[in-house]
Amino acid sequence: MQRLSDKVAIVTGAGQGIGAAIARRFAEEGAQVAIAERNPETGARMAAEISGDTGATAISVVTDVADRTSVEAMVAEVTDRLGDPDVLVNNAGVAVFGDPLSITDEDWARCMSVDLDGAWHCARAVLPAMRARKNGAIINIASNHALQVIRDTFPYPVAKHGVIGLTRALALQYAGEGIAVNAISPGYIDTPIAEWYFKQQPDAAAFRRETEAKQPVGRLGRPEEVAAVAALLASDEARFMTGANLVIDGGVTIRMYE
């Protein structure tokens, strides 16, 4: 079933991991996909892979979501090459973890500029065309850090709580204009970044087993599982859902202390 036929979708930070899985799933569902990625090499490579594997149109546009001018140029290029965007997935993000009184002003600014400001820059750039057509879907990738907080992960959860607030505010503002705005909060997903983090530990395999054992389902999530939910939210089937935050974390946030 191609639920996204004839739709144009922008996925930020889609050069790898969750974003790449979402872009690929959208292409499989019939969408034309724009990968808005800061790294030109990974973005171009993923666009080529998706086009070759699915036959769908996939392009890459170098984008720094923290820079409003860069975002506006990206949306203008996507519109020129593919048409007005029907779907936006704000997936680009950066994990900045630390002790609140130890992080620098630069740490705070980097986290907020990408994780929160970046989502707003992209939403602001696509909303005028969506409002004109009275149709659109915006999906913000938040985190289970938006629901529960771990010590020494500051200010990442602050930004992700803000993403939920942005989602709800925009959802209510444009609910009557045919635009659905929702969020997805993934837990521990098996991405290249997670694999890199495991390899920084003295015993990568042991640390991975320990991490998996902490998940109620006994494993890490797969990027494809997040992509499946994003495809639903991007489709016309889910347009009565707006302002929601769908948690995909294997049960972590519903578990009390043990």
β-sheet bridge partners, residue 181: 138
In this structure, the number of other CB atoms found within 10 A of the CB of residue 214 comes to 13
3-state secondary structure of 8: strand
- Between CA 69 and CA 10, with CA 21 as vertex, the angle to 5 degrees is 30
Q: Which two tokens stand for residue 171?
A: 């959802």
Tell me the catalytic residues.
156
> Who's near 40: CB < 8 A, 6+ residues apart?
60, 62
- The beta-strand segments (E) located in 78-144 are 87-90, 136-141
Mind listing the pLDDT tens digit of every residue in the chain (258 residues)?
A: 689 999 999 999 999 999 999 999 999 999 999 999 999 999 999 999 999 999 999 999 999 999 999 999 999 999 999 999 999 999 999 999 999 999 999 999 999 999 999 999 999 999 999 999 999 999 999 999 999 999 999 999 999 999 999 999 999 999 999 999 999 999 999 998 888 888 989 999 999 999 999 999 999 999 999 999 999 999 999 999 999 999 999 999 999 877
Q: What are phi and psi of 35, to 5 degrees?
A: -95, 110
Task: List domains and CATH numbers for the chain.
Answer: 8-186+225-243 (3.40.50.720), 192-220 (no CATH)
| Spatial CA neighbour of 10 closest among 117, 122, 118 | 122
Q: Which two tokens stand for residue 54?
A: 């699915």
| Spatial CA neighbour of 117 closest among 153, 155, 90 | 90
